Chain A
Amino acid sequence: MHKILTVAALMLFTLGAGLGVTQAADKKHKAVYHLNSADLETQKDVLRNSANHIAAVGKDNIDLRIVMHAGGVSMLRKAKTDVDLKSQIDDLKFKGVKFEICQKTLERGKIDYKKDLYDVRESDLVPSGVAEIALLQEQGFSYVKP
């Protein structure tokens, strides 16, 4: 009798644990890509790596952010005239990637995001790109610097 009850209790506990794990397992991957370089090749690397990352895990399974500050913001300036760059950015946005732009950089460089940059909304701005990267890591995002 004792044994049966012990086994039953264990099974119940295991069932509970299993349920808990299943509930938790559907969490998304989280990654933050850091772009602070003005170099076009590095910027294209970031876009390419992001696209590959999404292809590897599926667009519905990942929350991917590209945080731009300092020289990195220039990618969006180039995208205004570079069709290839533009389409890569559009494609990533379509797949759910969030582009975050450092407000400090805009102020320092006197950049008007509405006029000077490609497809930026007010909601894409963060007060400090660097602090945003730290914050996202505190929330469980993995840091990637191509």
Chain B
Amino acid sequence: MSQGKRFSDEFLNAFVDNQLASEEKSRAFVEISQDENLNRQVCELRKMHDLVQHAYAVPPAPPTSKDSGRGRARINLRFGVAASVLLVLGIAVGREIHLPTPDLQPLAVESVTTGNVVAAGNRRAVPADPRGNAGEAKESRVLVHVTSDDPARLNQALDDIEGLLTHYRDAHQGARIEVVLNGKGLGLVRADTSRFARRISQLQQQYTNLTFAACQNTIDRIKREQGIVVRLLPGVTVIDSGMAEIMRRQDQGWAYLQV
């Protein structure tokens, strides 16, 4: 036991915490490796050190219950730190549960006359030059659902889609627009019925970030009920189900818009 007293608790703590000067440290290494008691003591201290560092588990009782007032004070301090870390961590986790997205204030409506555009940059909490920020901002993804076969409404729908595309282009903001066509809406991209073939082709050429997606279920239904094999306009992709696509995209964080 007398050997154990060769180093004070404070010295051993400092050794474990790697706070010793290098000669002191090498001397301690030699001594400790030759002394089983001391070795065990240091081992215990190390273990506690690691546990406190992890801030979750509980450190073991100090190795020497007597004469360790200073060591204890040190341990208490560590407990304090660990407890604070836990509390803060808990608050963070608690908030996170309810805040999957950063808490951003919806943008104030911008005045158009001043040339401000509702660009993605404005979504950042820091109000900065929207144009400067827009390039770095996250890509906007919008699913546009077309359900009507009324030519006036389809015309309006194409106006809306084009307006959206030019908006993002002018704001220098990355965007993907997917137009989903099912039910009556499929008529917009049917080669045999669409009145808008030329306009759609123009839009496709002008904007590579625009996709038209036709619903396979609707195509199958038209075949079954009317015996018509639907042919689609060039560049129109086919998806298994329009409704499923709408759900999938919203799950992936896309905005949804019905026109």
Tell me the A residues contacting B by CB distance below 8 Å: 1-2, 5-6, 9, 12-25, 27, 30, 34, 36, 63, 65, 69-71, 98, 100, 103-104, 122-128, 130-141, 143, 145
Of B90, B101, B159, B256, the contact of A16 (CB 8 Å cutoff): B90
Quick check: A133 and B257 within 8 Å, CB to CB?
yes
- When chains A and B are docked, how far (Å) is the Cα of A64 from the Cα of B103? 17
Instruction: Count contacts on B: residues with CB < 8 A to the other chain.
Output: 53
Nearest chain B CB to A17 CB, angstrom units: 4
Closest 7 CB pairs of A and B: A16-B90, A20-B94, A24-B98, A137-B255, A17-B94, A5-B58, A134-B255
Smallest Cβ-Cβ distance to A106: which chain B residue? B112
- When chains A and B are docked, how far (Å) is the Cα of A23 from the Cα of B103? 12
Of B93, B110, B111, B123, the contact of A138 (CB 8 Å cutoff): B123
Quick check: B118 and A13 within 8 Å, CB to CB?
no
- When chains A and B are docked, how far (Å) is the Cα of A80 from the Cα of B119? 32
Contact A127-B94, Cβ < 8 Å, known A1-B61, A6-B57: no
Q: Which of A6, A25, A124, A138 has the most CB of B within 10 A?
A: A138
Smallest Cβ-Cβ distance to B259: which chain A residue? A36
- When chains A and B are docked, how far (Å) is the Cα of A128 from the Cα of B100? 27
Q: Which of B32-40, B163-171, B178-186, B234-242 contacts A (4 or more CB under 8 A)?
A: B163-171
Nearest chain B CB to A97 CB, angstrom units: 13
Quick check: B111 and A141 within 8 Å, CB to CB?
no
Is residue B258 contacting chain A, with contact meaning CB distance below 8 A?
A: yes
Contact A14-B90, Cβ < 8 Å, known A9-B56, A20-B96, A143-B257: yes
Nearest chain B CB to A144 CB, angstrom units: 10
Is residue B109 contacting chain A, with contact meaning CB distance below 8 A?
A: yes
Quick check: B90 and A19 within 8 Å, CB to CB?
yes
- When chains A and B are docked, how far (Å) is the Cα of A100 from the Cα of B108? 11
Of A1, A128, A141, the contact of B167 (CB 8 Å cutoff): A128
- When chains A and B are docked, how far (Å) is the Cα of A63 from the Cα of B83? 38
Of B93, B106, B112, the contact of A30 (CB 8 Å cutoff): B106
- When chains A and B are docked, how far (Å) is the Cα of A99 from the Cα of B257? 18
Of B87, B97, B113, the contact of A122 (CB 8 Å cutoff): B113
Q: Which residues of B sit under 8 angstroms from A5, Cβ to Cβ?
A: 58-59
Quick check: A145 and B258 within 8 Å, CB to CB?
yes
Is residue B142 contacting chain A, with contact meaning CB distance below 8 A?
A: yes
Quick check: B123 and A135 within 8 Å, CB to CB?
yes
Is residue B117 contacting chain A, with contact meaning CB distance below 8 A?
A: yes
Q: Which residues of A sit under 8 angstroms from B83, Cβ to Cβ?
A: 9, 12
Which of B44-97 touch A at CB < 8 Å?
56-61, 82-83, 86-97
Of B86, B156, B257, the contact of A13 (CB 8 Å cutoff): B86
Which of B167-195 touch A at CB < 8 Å?
167-168
- 13 inter-chain pairs at a CB distance below 8 angstroms, sorted by A residue, are A14-B90, A17-B94, A20-B92, A20-B95, A21-B97, A24-B94, A24-B99, A27-B99, A100-B109, A131-B118, A135-B120, A135-B255, A140-B101
Quick check: A138 and B255 within 8 Å, CB to CB?
yes
Q: Which of A1, A30, A63, A128 has the most CB of B within 10 A?
A: A128
